[in-house]
Amino acid sequence: MRAFEYVAAKDSRHAVALLAEYGPSAKVLAGGTDLLVEFKAAPRVPQMVIDISRAEDLKNIALTAQGLSIGAAVTHTEIMRSPLIREMCPALVDAAHTIGAVQTRNLGTLGGNLVTCVPSMDSGPTLIALDALVAIAGPAGYQDMPLDGFFVGPRKSILKPDELLVAIVIPKKNLGKPAAFVKFGLRKGQALALVNVAASLRVDSDKHVFRGTRIALGAVAPTVIRAQQAEAYLEGRAVTPEAMAEAGRIAAGEAKPISDFRASAAYRRDLIAVLTRRALEGAYALGKSKRDRET
Amino acid sequence: MARKTDIGEREQRVTQKTLHSVDETLRLPAVTPPVTYPIETLVPQVRQQTPAVGQRATRSDGRMHGLGQTRYIDDLAFPGMLYAKIKRAGIASARIKRIDTREAEAMPGVMAVLTGREIPVNSFGPSLKDQPVLADDRVFHAGDGVAAVAAVTEQIALEALDKIKVEYEPLPAVFDPLEALKDDAHKVHAPNSNVYATKIIKKGDIDKGFAASDRIFEGRFRTQMVEHVPLEPHATIAVWDPNGRVTIYSTLGRITLGRADVARTLKMPINRIRIIATIVGGNFGGKNEITQEPVLALLSKKTGRPVKGTFTRTEEFIATTTRHPIIMDYKTGVSKAGKILARKVRLVLDGGAYCSWSETTLGKACILAAGPYNIDNLLAEAFVVYTNKTMTGAMRGFGAPQVCFAYESHMDDIACALNIDPLDIRLLNAFEEGSSSPTGQVLQSVVVKDSLLQAAQRFGWKEARS
Amino acid sequence: MANVTLNVNGKLRTASVPPETTLLKLLRDHYNLTGAKLGCDVGDCGACTVIVDGMPVNACLMLASQADGREVLTIEGLATSDQLHPLQKAFEDHASLQCGFCGPGIILSAKALLDETPNPTVPEIRDALSGNLCRCTGYTKMIEAIQAAARVLREEPAERDA
């Protein structure tokens, strides 16, 4: 690898101060599973690498007044093992499990996955489907924003060079909201998603209709997108397998998949329809078993 | 005591006599005396149990592998060793107008730079010597090496590559083998035709065979380029000794061929070249010929220090041999019952930028193109063509896997169209003891049908079909 | 230069290396622990797998600086002077390796699995090995060997691994 300087940030405040000092000539390193790969292929590397992988306040998983807060430097393995996340957002655990392989999950972080911002990111859809927020630290201090606006385009997040993603928050109201994540890759491990889908929903217990459905699609547009027409279609509609299948078909029409060496656009559209249906079914089943347990 | 002296004397006399008689026999006769071999040859006893066959044995390398103690080439290091990297063309077809290495040479830590014009004989290959060690005047595929650097660290070597400036004049290129087959196609190695090897097998009379057929089926099948992806990338270390002999440690599979290629390209007597190959981390045919050995030998000579070069995973894909993609056109005439009466095959092999092992691949693909089936009337024509892509060479099967995909898919298509069980159509046509191959070889120990039937039984073929 | 101190196979070791040095380079070039291999350098093949603080990671994707203060176990640290680790023994008995290049990485991934899951199912073994590519064997014998080693480890007393 080409030469660069290195400093380990003690915490997010330290990291922000370092970013302010070095500006665009610095890059933040967490797990390195994307960044170091990028460095090895790049004609140039940043002058300074700021390592946040062991920054104290970026490794917490905790319930706060806002909801469930996950530090940006929490690894995918830590997500899979967290009792809090397993209980409150099992879909996030499923999503983490589809990322790379054991070795990549032990190093790769949730924040890194979001900041690298590839359209096929596996952590994005579930978080979008749960209306997640992100906490960003900058020279002016901390601010929150919806994750929805965090993704600008392929490999481009909204972060400015002197800003740091600090935490991801799942709002209190969505903790325990039934959700499911489905990914389709050419292999079961070490594979990019051809399409990935997350869905979350509630069921009106009286009328047995869909309420507050969220469907997030990945790998089929420049960023993770919501299938809002499919969501609108389901709102207030009776919960039936046919409705879920139709929602899948509508969602497929909302996406702009590309044809590349991995798959054709047509095949991806097929996948969207099927995976959306499966994600809805999965979320519904999770909710049903919860309701059954509660009654 | 006396006896010992006696033996000593006799020994002395016998030795003298032998030495003298050797002098006599060393005067070679004008006509070599006839040599008689035993007339009886050993006929191998097939399918007989021997004490060794069927016994469990432990692999001799298992322990060292498990301990992580096996030393592969990249695990070796020598005092004062330098690291070499090769600059890749990145353009499929071009003339090199200028290479400026001055900035790279001036970098601290860079010990030597090498370009194609410094190679004494800049061509090699297992048969056609059409592959350059480093591109000199022309680039034939994007993975061609155009310059090499030896530096004190790999990092410096890579940075030095960036500083080497190459001016290319892009030339036309051809990438599709069917395009390359045409008369007006760009000639990759002009003025030679793009078709650099041909094989034709003729048996019986296909016109008569097709005329007698109840149905005729045609199909085109294509396979893709495949890279071996051995887990261990190509690695080589070159070291010279004070007597002007070079030792090359390499992941090379065919070291005798390697010596010949290094001797040729470096214009050195072969007895001054030693190649040491050790446990290799996967070969599969991709390490059957030299890649960077002459480059490292020359860099080592220039610098007076051992030089190691390891390929990156990217170089494994663009600068090492791959499996030939083949476009296979099949035309088969069958009876109503599915018996093959005639078959016409045309194979077009994508031969990449250089010949490498294409002739062997062509040969095997052509001979095996008919499949393990009794076909009395056969015409198999096979061609390998140059394209401006990564060179295609040896990979396990040498053409067999590609044609197998074609003739078995074709067979399935025929069975489906005739509404015959795919297993039955094969049993009807398959080789038997004494069947003759397309090239007339009489086959022994033929167990095709036995295997098929046993497999069918184990898989529950009949049950699944019903 | 980055000064790092880490525990490698039970021994405290230091190094002064350029900051961009990966853990893989540190182990192979500076400590001559060549068991971890360079197969792709981008974390796809797993040949560089080592165990850091109990977790298998791609050493090619970890900077030496990031390993500072941590415990690293490489393949060279598995066997003792008089005994092979049950995984190494099982791999030998089952002829699980052919060219052997993927071996150290696979064995360490398997060790990390068995440390956590003493009685893994075949899907769990496959999942644990999903980051280790093998081009020679087809993995079948490795899975058998891991199951055999798991049996041995379950039967023997805990002191065995000390």
SS (H, E, C) chain C: CEEEEEEECCEEEEEEECCCCEHHHHHHHHCCCCCCCCCCCCCCCCCCEEEECCEEEEHHHCEHHHHCCCEEECHHHCCCCCCCCHHHHHHHHCCCCCCCCCHHHHHHHHHHHHHHCCCCCHHHHHHHCCCCCCCCCCCHHHHHHHHHHHHHHHHCCHHHHC
Give the pLDDT of residue B410.
Answer: 98
Give the pLDDT of residue B33.
Answer: 47
DSSP 8-state code for residue B131: B
- B233: which chain C residues are within 8 Å (Cβ-Cβ)? 38-39
H helix intervals, B128-176: 154-163
DSSP 8-state code for residue B396: T
Give the pLDDT of residue B32.
Answer: 45
Per-residue pLDDT of B101-110, as tens digits, reads 999 999 999 9
- A43: which chain B residues are within 8 Å (Cβ-Cβ)? 162
Give the pLDDT of residue A34.
Answer: 96
Tell whether A65 is within 8 A of chain B (Cβ): no
B178: left (phi over 0), alpha (psi -120 to 50) or beta: alpha
Which strands form A193-203's sheet, in the order they lie side by side? A179-185, A193-203, A210-218, A225-226
Contact B159 A43 (CB under 8 A): no
Q: What is the pLDDT along chain A (295 residues), one digit of tens a residue?
A: 999 999 999 999 999 999 999 989 999 999 999 999 999 999 999 999 999 999 999 999 999 999 999 999 999 999 999 999 999 999 999 999 999 999 999 999 999 999 999 999 999 999 999 999 999 999 989 999 999 999 999 999 999 999 999 999 999 999 999 999 999 999 989 999 999 999 999 999 888 999 999 999 999 999 999 999 999 999 999 999 999 999 999 999 999 899 999 999 999 999 999 999 999 999 999 998 888 887 6
- Strand (E) or helix (H) holding B240: strand B235-240
Q: What is the mean pLDDT of chain A?
A: 96
**Phi and psi of A239, rounded to 5°?**
-80, 105
Q: How many CB pairs lie under 8 A apart between chains A and C?
A: 85
- A4: which chain B residues are within 8 Å (Cβ-Cβ)? none
- Chains meeting A at 3+ CB pairs closer than 8 A? B, C
Which strands form B94-100's sheet, in the order they lie side by side? B138-139, B94-100, B165-170
DSSP 8-state code for residue B143: T
Residue A292 CB coordination number (10 Å) = 8
Percent residues over pLDDT 90 in chain C: 91
Residue B117 CB coordination number (10 Å) = 11
- A47: which chain C residues are within 8 Å (Cβ-Cβ)? none
Cis peptide before C118 (omega within 30 of 0): no
How many degrees, rounded to 5, is the angle at CA C99 between CA C93 and CA C103?
65
Q: Which residues in C have their CB inside 8 Å of a CB on B?
A: 18, 20, 28, 34-42, 45, 47, 74-76, 78-79, 84, 87-89, 91-93, 95-97, 99-104, 107, 133-136
Residue B116 CB coordination number (10 Å) = 22
Which of C39, C88, C92 has its CB closest to that of B58? C92
Cα separation, A232 vs A253, whole angstroms: 14
- C133: which chain B residues are within 8 Å (Cβ-Cβ)? 231
Q: Do B80 and B305 contact (CB within 8 A), yes or no? A: yes
Cα separation, C160 vs A149, whole angstroms: 54
Cα separation, B419 vs A278, whole angstroms: 37
| Strands in B290-407 per DSSP E | 307-310, 326-334, 340-350, 378-385
Give the pLDDT of residue B43.
Answer: 59
Q: Do A164 and A111 contact (CB within 8 A), yes or no? A: no
Give the pLDDT of residue B24.
Answer: 54
Nearest by Cα to B235 from C60, C37, C74, C62: C37
Tell whether A44 is within 8 A of chain B (Cβ): no
Q: Which residues in A have their CB inside 8 Å of a CB on C?
A: 1-6, 8, 29, 31-33, 36-37, 39-40, 45, 49, 51, 53-54, 77, 100-104, 106-107, 188-190
- Nearest-CA distance B397 → chain A (Å): 25
Residue B230 makes CB contacts below 8 A (sequence gap 6+) with B280, B281, B282, B283, B284, B286, B287, B316, C99, C101, C135
The residue count for chain C: 162
Contact B155 A3 (CB under 8 A): yes
Residue C29 makes CB contacts below 8 A (sequence gap 6+) with none
- Nearest-CA distance C1 → chain A (Å): 8
For residue A3, give the chain B residue with the closest CA. B155
- C130: which chain A residues are within 8 Å (Cβ-Cβ)? 101-102, 188-190
Which of A51, A107, A188 has its CB closest to that of C61? A107
Contact A2 B159 (CB under 8 A): yes
Residue type, A163: E
* pLDDT value at C49 more than 60: yes
- Nearest-CA distance B63 → chain C (Å): 6
For the question of an ipTM over 0.85, the answer is yes
Q: Do C23 and C41 contact (CB within 8 A), yes or no? A: no
Contact B280 C99 (CB under 8 A): yes
Cα separation, C133 vs A82, whole angstroms: 28
Residues B383, B389, B395, B401: is their CA dihedral positive or negative?
Answer: negative
Per-residue pLDDT of C132-150, as tens digits, reads 999 999 999 999 999 999 9
* pLDDT value at C37 more than 60: yes
- Nearest-CA distance B231 → chain A (Å): 16
For residue C21, give the chain B residue with the closest CA. B155
Ranges of residues in chain B with a pLDDT under 50 are 1-2, 28-33, 35, 38-41
- Chains meeting C at 3+ CB pairs closer than 8 A? A, B
Give the pLDDT of residue B49.
Answer: 60
Residue reference for tokens 């030679």: B192
Q: How far is CA A117 from CA A124, A168, A220, A224, A262, in A?
A: 9, 14, 13, 9, 19
Residue A140 CB coordination number (10 Å) = 10
For residue B316, give the chain C residue with the closest CA. C40
* pLDDT value at C160 more than 80: no
* 3-class SS of residue B344: strand
Residue C85 CB coordination number (10 Å) = 23
Nearest by Cα to B371 from B402, B338, B393, B326: B402
Contact A3 B158 (CB under 8 A): no
Residue C7 CB coordination number (10 Å) = 15
Rounded to a whole number, what is the distance in angstroms from the first to the last CA of chain B? 93
Please identify among residues 89-148 of chain C the ones whose CB lies closer than 8 Å to any CB of chain A.
Answer: 109, 112, 127-128, 130-132
Query: What pTM value is reported for the model?
Result: 0.91
**Phi and psi of A29, rounded to 5°?**
-115, 130
Tell whether A155 is within 8 A of chain B (Cβ): no
- A3: which chain C residues are within 8 Å (Cβ-Cβ)? 18-20
- Nearest-CA distance C82 → chain A (Å): 30
- Nearest-CA distance B463 → chain A (Å): 31
Give the pLDDT of residue A137.
Answer: 97
Contact C101 B232 (CB under 8 A): yes
